[in-house]
Amino acid sequence: MRGRAFLAALLLVLGLTAAPLPAAPLAAAQPAGTALLLTAEGGIGPGIAGYIEAGLAQAAEQGNALAVLRLDTPGGLDAATRRIVQAMLASPVPVAVWVAPSGARAASAGVLILSAAQVAAMAPGTATGAATPVLLGGGREEEDDPLRAKRINDAAAYARGLAEYHGRNPDWLEKAVREAASLPAAEALRLGVIDLVAADLPALLAAMDGRSVRMPAGPRVLQTAGLAVQRFDPGWRDRLLTAISDPNIAYLLLMLGLGGLILEFAAPGFGLGGVVGGIALLLGLFALNLLPVDLTGLALMALGAAMLVAEAFIPAFGLLGFGGLAALVLGAVIAFDFGAPGFALSPLLVVSSTVLLALLLGATMWSVWRSRRLAVMTGGQGMVGAPGRVLEWSGRGGAVLVHGERWSATAPVALAPGQAVRVLARHGLRLTVAPDAAGQEGKAP
């Protein structure tokens, strides 16, 4: 009976875990009468791109009347931005991008996302602009660099094309790319960069009602007044990608992984240090795969990591260890950009993590140095100097008791049963012993 109950419970748990869970409960019974609300905050990376793609796919599957993307971003990665723009332009559900709440911004990559929407809106007290592309990964370019000009021309044409597609101001969008121009919400509305200004979501839905927008299948008139709102929250995978694609988190994972491996190599046993360090290092390496990093800096960081691990195996009085720390710092400076919008690496994090890693390395070296000064307590060498007592003796050989074990022994002088001795050397299963004056004196008469 218990076996059947356990089997039924197991099948129930498996069924619950296998069943797909909705991202958020519906606010209305009919999806067609709802607007799906997505929220993108922070740097635009692979995690946010995947989240928006999933949200637009769900809106199309449910037949939502509208998808609203509430945006607040300082910028992000070009590849992730273009994924979002393509998903928005191909969506059969109209997309409204709303820069909110007050104090938010749609800078850099956010300008392109705002321009790709069927309805571009901003809340009072928000801003947009500064869309000049910058080279991430720590690289620096001159003003007359042809690669820089190529990148800016491409971004300017892309922004202009999006503005013309939705009938907005292409000249200002190009200016935002070439000259990093920025605008507050009211000025953006006056210049035709956006379609409307709305302080809250109900006002946004009311202002869009009756507006004709361009869709892949042709023009469509929006009917948005009074729509119920359904929130779409990111899944665990999108949250994970968003977290680890932050350069600060990626760098912290790498340092945590190296610290764990140093502890594991210094005290073998595949314990907590090895498990945590291995997982953190793999996550950090995966994050680097998502981020645009300079390969030279990445190679320096790999060299530094190898030198730190080598120090644990081949103690070199800190030469390899602290050389590895220097390589890690230089590699981080070269690999990451400390001023990229949305993807800047904190100098304080680099310094503090390096100091902590140096302290850990110093503690490991101190532990190794102390262990080398301790007397050997095991093996053949551990027997040397051990006290013992003669069990039986004849001439120059006999048997002695050392560490509770009976051993065959020889001595340079004749010994007597019960006499205290001390081990001079070990040769296989035979010991060389000598009288132990101190042990003999301490023996009770």
How far is residue 167 from each of residues 15, 213, 272, 406, 434, measured CA to CA in Å? 50, 10, 59, 99, 103
Given 187, 204, 237, the domain boundary residue is: 237
Give the residue with greater pLDDT, 111 vs 287: 111
User: How many domains are contained in the chain?
Assistant: 3
- The predicted model gives 130-156 an average pLDDT of 72
Assigned domain for 26 exists: yes
Look up the domain containing 128 and give its range. 21-237
pLDDT of residue 445: 37
pLDDT of residue 223: 93
Do 146 and 35 belong to one domain?
yes
Q: What gap in Å lies between CA 244 and CA 291, rounded to an integer?
A: 10
Do 255 and 343 belong to one domain?
yes
CATH number of the domain to which 141 belongs = 3.90.226.10
Assigned domain for 6 exists: no
Q: What is the pLDDT of residues 361-375, one digit of tens each?
A: 777 667 666 655 555
Do 387 and 282 belong to one domain?
no
Given 373, 390, 411, the domain boundary residue is: 373
Q: Per the structure block, which two tokens stand in for 120?
A: 């571009």
350 pLDDT more than 90: no
Do 90 and 207 belong to one domain?
yes
Chain-centroid distance of CA 335 in Å reads 15
As beta bridge partners, residue 41 has 72
331 pLDDT more than 70: yes
Q: What is the pLDDT of residues 388-440, one digit of tens each?
A: 999 999 888 899 998 888 899 999 888 889 899 988 888 878 888 988 876 55
Do 86 and 172 belong to one domain?
yes
Do 281 and 195 belong to one domain?
no
Do 280 and 300 belong to one domain?
yes
Assigned domain for 96 exists: yes
Assigned domain for 13 exists: no
Assigned domain for 11 exists: no
Q: Which of 18-22, 151-155, 360-364, 406-410 has the lowest mean pLDDT?
A: 18-22
Peptide linkage before 101 cis (omega within 30 of 0): yes
Q: What b/e readout covers 343-373, taking b as 16+ CB neighbours within 10 angstroms?
A: bbbeeebbeebbeebeebbeebbeeeeeeee
Asked if 336 and 293 count as a contact pair (C-beta separation under 8 A), the reply is: yes
Asked if 303 and 289 count as a contact pair (C-beta separation under 8 A), the reply is: no
DSSP collapsed to 3 states, the chain: CHHHHHHHHHHHHHHHHHCCCCCCCCCCCCHHHEEEEEEEECCECHHHHHHHHHHHHHHHHHCCCEEEEEEEECCECHHHHHHHHHHHHHCCCCEEEEECCCCCEEECHHHHHHHHCCEEEECCCCEEECCCCCCCCCCCCCCCCHHHHHHHHHHHHHHHHHHHHCCCCHHHHHHHHHCCCEEEHHHHHHCCCCCEECCCHHHHHHHHCCCEEEECCEEEECCCCCCEEEECCCCHHHHHHHHHCCHHHHHHHHHHHHHHHHHHHHCCCCCHHHHHHHHHHHHHHHHHHHCCCCHHHHHHHHHHHHHHHHHHHCCCCCHHHHHHHHHHHHHHHHHCCCCCCCCCCCHHHHHHHHHHHHHHHHHHHHHHHHHHHCCCCCHHHHHCCCEEEEEEEECCEEEEEECCEEEEEECCCCCCCCCEEEEEEEECCEEEEEECHHHHHCCCC
Do 149 and 200 belong to one domain?
yes
- What is the pLDDT confidence band of residue 147, given thresholds at 50, 70 and 90? confident
- The predicted model gives 120-139 an average pLDDT of 81
CATH number of the domain to which 390 belongs = 2.40.50.140
Assigned domain for 4 exists: no
> Highest mean pLDDT range out of 108-117, 268-277, 353-362?
108-117
Do 302 and 335 belong to one domain?
yes
Given 319, 340, 373, the domain boundary residue is: 373
Do 198 and 304 belong to one domain?
no
By DSSP bridging, strand 34-41 and strand 66-72 are parallel
Q: What is the pLDDT of residues 67-82, one digit of tens each?
A: 999 999 998 888 889 9
Assigned domain for 186 exists: yes
Do 209 and 357 belong to one domain?
no
Assigned domain for 132 exists: yes
Asked if 349 and 247 count as a contact pair (C-beta separation under 8 A), the reply is: no
Q: Which of 109-123, 222-236, 337-351 has the lowest mean pLDDT?
A: 337-351
pLDDT of residue 183: 94
Do 163 and 41 belong to one domain?
yes
